[in-house]
Amino acid sequence: MSDFSLHPRLAADSLHIADLPLCQVRLMNDARYAWLVLVPRRDEIREVYDLSADDQARLWQEATALGKALMAAKAGDKLNLATLGNMVPQLHLHVIVRHQGDEAWPGPVWGQGQAVPYEAKQEAAMRDCLRNCLEAGGLA
Amino acid sequence: MSDFSLHPRLAADSLHIADLPLCQVRLMNDARYAWLVLVPRRDEIREVYDLSADDQARLWQEATALGKALMAAKAGDKLNLATLGNMVPQLHLHVIVRHQGDEAWPGPVWGQGQAVPYEAKQEAAMRDCLRNCLEAGGLA
């Protein structure tokens, strides 16, 4: 494992949840959505294809297993998976559970309205939920 | 291979390019971006995790190899990969080469402005480019 440093904007916008074999799992601090960001713990990576083939496979496996568990836990209507990174060059994968009628539905969530930071109780509940999801996804 | 039918909205908005082992490659008919959509040729699939493990691996491999080649061909600044599907439930993966200063930069492309359909000459050039990308990505 090489050193890994998190882009300051990702650090500011999200909360640390867990370190998986490849990715750091972070919760976007926006209670409007169940919205995770997975950041491969490798330096100098901008694109998925900059990762080794093994790491690429691990990225998708971690994202898909966690996304599936979170969809079940939150009774989601659609899972959005996306690497955009036009603002933050460090590779990061968005994993977002969408519900019909959520604030941005059916559009994408980025740039829509203002983030609503978690209150302490909500955050604790979400951390519990995510702990269960990591177990359900075979990632804990 | 099971039967495969394409959602009418995907059929209307994009042009057939190639059939890979898993995905049908389609070009969004919007000359503002080098924007592909990969549609797994399986029926009744909404989420990545509805695919078999082998098909999931194949999906990422096809998307990443093609995206990498297209980034090189178009001298892109960032590759966007995304499964959203809030409007079209059939699983499809967006593969979009972004440039600093493109119409939606740095925001996401969806829902920004009006698509600009390809003119015949542009479309022919893009088909040539994509044929070369498929070869460069080991997909042809």
User: The complex's ipTM?
Assistant: 0.95
Say whether A79 and B107 touch across the interface (CB within 8 A): no
Which amino acid, one-letter code, is at A70? L
Task: Tell me which residues of chain B, numbers 36 to 55, contact chain A at a CB-CB cutoff of 8 Å.
Answer: 46-49
Q: Are B72 and B16 in contact (CB under 8 A)?
A: no
Q: pLDDT, tens digit, for every residue of A33-55?
A: 999 999 999 999 999 999 999 99
| Sheet with B93-98: strands ordered across | A14-19, A23-28, A34-40, A93-98, A78-83, B78-83, B93-98, B34-40, B23-28, B14-19
Task: Determine contact, residues A41/A4, Cβ cutoff 8 Å.
Answer: yes
Give the pLDDT of residue A3.
Answer: 65
Pairing of strands A14-19, A23-28: antiparallel
Nearest CA in chain A to B58: A57
Contact across the interface for B80 and A86, Cβ inside 8 Å: yes
pTM: 0.96
Q: Nearest Cβ partner of A110 from B67, B78, B108?
A: B108
* Cβ contact B81–A82 (<8 Å): yes
CB nearest to B64's CB, from A48, A67, A86: A48
